[in-house]
Amino acid sequence: MTGDDLRLEPASVILVSREGGFVVAPGLSAPRKIECRQLNEHQRRRLQAVLDELDRHGGESVPAGADRRSFRVTLEVTAGRPEREWELDESAAPRSLIGLWKRGVEELDESTD
């Protein structure tokens, strides 16, 4: 699936988490789950823009290292079935993704088109 045909559907679910680092503590990953059926049109457009930006980054490989962190984003189009997944090094992650991880849906409200 490429960015050209990657389109969010009402049933789509996005999972965003941060992984890695010295400390193995699942709570620090602060996983986010965003269900598209709960978003308004503006929020869906903003979320689509974040996914398009991830596609432009092309799934860059995550360098090895003990204290490296990365973001993992999974798009599920139907319940429980991963349709597309991205993993980006934290230093290469777009600000829109970091904001989405930190603030969830609130980030979609405050971003501008």
Helix axes 41-57, 95-103, angle to 10 degrees: 130
Mean pLDDT, the chain, rounded, equals 80
pLDDT at 1 over 70: no
Output the pTM of the full model: 0.77
SS3 of 36-81: the string is HHHCCHHHHHHHHHHHHHHHHHCCCCCCCCCCCEEEEEEEEEECCE
Residue 65: count other Cβ atoms within 10 Å of its Cβ: 10
Question: Residues 31-86: pLDDT tens digits?
Answer: 899 999 999 999 999 999 999 999 887 655 555 565 678 899 999 877 666 688 99
